[in-house]
Amino acid sequence: MLKYSEQQSELKYPEVPNYLGGAFVPADGRPMLDVHDPSEGRVISRVPLSSQHEVDAAVQSAAKAFPQWSTTPIKERVQVFFRYKALLEQHIDELAALVTEENGKVASEARAEVLKSAELCEFACSLPQIAPGEVLEVSRGVECRIERFPLGVVASITPFNFPNMVPNWSIPNAIALGNCMILKPSELVPLSAGRIAELLKEAGLPDGVLQIVHGGREAVEALCDHSGISAVAFVGSTKIAKTVYRRATANLKRCLALGGAKNHLIVMPDADREMTATNVVASMSGCAGQRCMAASVMVAVSKTDHIIARMTEYARTLVPGRDVGPVISAAAKERITRYIDEAEAAGATVLVDGRRASVPGKEGGFFIGPTVIDHVTPDMKIAQEEVFGPVLVIVRAKDVDEALAVENASPYGNAASVFTESGGVARYVMERANAGMVGVNVGVPVPREPFSFGGWNDSKFGVGDITGRGSIEFWTQAKKMTTKWNREAGVNWMS
């Protein structure tokens, strides 16, 4: 095995290879796309735009490995992930630095991402106890049993915002359950995937069980179309999630496609001022707002000016480059800035303005500082569409029902939260919020393993969830077995 950092290239990292059959394979002759360090704007590598040919090679390699891997007992399969979890923790500094370099996260966020990957592996290691099947004597001498079997070759298409964690949403569970996987990481952040492959091989994963095919639209379409792939998981924007879901299911595959979000945080007048202000701002600005669980709309109910004042005060203390990383690209920065400009022109009040953020020594980086915009109306584009940047808009509401009406009107349904000291109000909002993940006094209501990650409405297409217990159903199929050995069972309608 040869780490990227040990290879020689005129760029910081050489051209990114695909990973097939346990080895890195250059995609010779394919068009290449530049990979940027978003904190400086410079090109650090290039990634191939793979085609149907590379996808077909990956499927063949995975199909060859599947018979032996799928018949390996699950208690043996998960031993790979015990070792892989230890390697993630052992190499956390290196892995976090790679995330920072290709994605732009500040160091603490990058470390947290890798630690979450380790937690995901911890859950996968528990699968022998969680997914053992069921058995019941349904009548004297007659036994019914359910056992779960892998699907075969499956694919996972992952986004740019968590280059280490989101691949590990699917890799440990899908592979531990006996499948062989083809990973197609975002072409914007292809470097972390290579180290994931190296560490899994070091942990003892047999060659061919994991393949990595880099690329853009052509590779995604090939994965959706290939007859040798049984299931596709996707994480990205709602527009692309719908396209992937339609295309994969039209080709008779299972598909779980997670889309975008417009998360609403309802803030009541009785909410704890300090906790609410710091949690809401952290949710909005963490990971530069480039996460589907970020606070996007704060619905301020009645007399909450004291909380808003503390929020703006706290947001101004966050320093781009130190506390908030860059957004992923120049195009993303331009798009986010345009949302802010349009809201201001429509009459909204920009309380904290991050449009002119600049980091000394990194003037070429794609930075936007934390931005808080008040007096936004629900009909404004910035209140309806996913911005995916460190921007929080404040919509005013006279009571909790009006606040819920704002939240319920969103076509998305990923997450919602309420900040209050009233248990009754908290329960009222949790029951009525139109979202798959809800929280109370939590800015980022992400469930922890074994609870599954997944939203509703235009935030998710398909059945099941991508992590936790909910992923078991997606990555396996149930076989129902009925046996009768006892002659005394006689002859009845079950014979």
Helix (H, G, I), strand (E, B) or coil at 311: helix
Determine how many CB atoms are found less than 10 A away from the CB of residue 408: 14
> Which phi and psi angles does 116 have, rounded to 5°?
-65, -35
CB-hemisphere CA count at 13 Å for 382? 33
Q: What is the DSSP letter of 320?
A: B
Instruction: Tell me the β-bridge partners of 212.
Output: 19, 183
Kindly give the residue spans of alpha helices, DSSP state H, lying in 12-106: 52-70, 74-77, 79-90, 92-103
Enumerate the β-bridge partners of residue 300. Answer: 267, 396
Distance of alpha carbon 242 from alpha carbon 57, whole angstroms: 27
Is the C-alpha dihedral spanning 310, 313, 319, 320 positive or negative?
positive
3-state helix, strand, coil split of the chain in percent (to 5) is: 40, 20, 40
Bond preceding residue 450 cis, omega within 30 of 0: yes
Q: How far is CA 163 from CA 217, 333, 341, 366, in A?
A: 18, 19, 30, 18
Give catalytic status of residue 292 as yes or no.
yes
User: CA distances (Å), 196 to each of 109, 154, 184, 472, in order?
Assistant: 18, 17, 13, 22
Q: Considering only CA atoms, give the Rg of the chain.
A: 24
Task: Tell me the Ramachandran region of residue 469: left when phi exceeds 0, alpha when psi lies from -120 to 50, beta otherwise.
Answer: alpha
| Residue from 125, 224, 255, 292 carrying the catalytic annotation | 292
Measured between alpha carbons, how far is 479 from 481 in angstroms, rounded to an integer?
A: 6
Q: Where are the alpha helices (DSSP H) in 400-442?
A: 400-408, 423-432
The DSSP result for 166-202, as a single string, is THHHHHHHHHHTT-EEEEE--TTS-HHHHHHHHHHHH
Catalytic residues: 292
